[in-house]
Amino acid sequence: MKKILVIHGPNLNLLGEREPGIYGDMNFNTLNENIVKRANELGMECDVFQSNHEGAIIDKLHEARTEYFGVVLNAGAYTHYSYAIRDAIAAVKIPVIEVHISNVFARDGFRSNSVIAPVCKGSISGLGYASYYLGVQALAEL
């Protein structure tokens, strides 16, 4: 059975409270329950991790290389400037699917650039919470 990891980056722990017009009104715990349920329905085990700290995300990616088949990653704002997370993704050599709740290309100009996209297996954005579910499905189909 494939085992996958979902990593949420900064401020995603505030889902349901943070800018619901952009990020929706589902709370963080409910989203995680739904992600794990979807993974289980697809025959996979799923763990979830969240951190507001770049180094903790890098450490978790390093750990993932020996424990997980792949990662669904919403790096939040780190998407746009963290070359350290980009290098960690490249180093672990497991598939990483980049996801975003909002359509990053329809927002502030700086959000349209992802420094992690070139080293990710694929990217999904703008589909709300379904972005996560589709990321999980993508790993199931690899």
Catalytic (active-site) positions: 23, 100
Selection from 61, 139, 58 nearest residue 97 by Cα: 139
Pair 101, 20: CB distance under 8 Å: no
Q: In what order do the strands lie in the sheet with 45-50?
A: 45-50, 3-8, 70-74, 96-100, 122-125
Bridge partner residues of 72 (DSSP): 6, 97
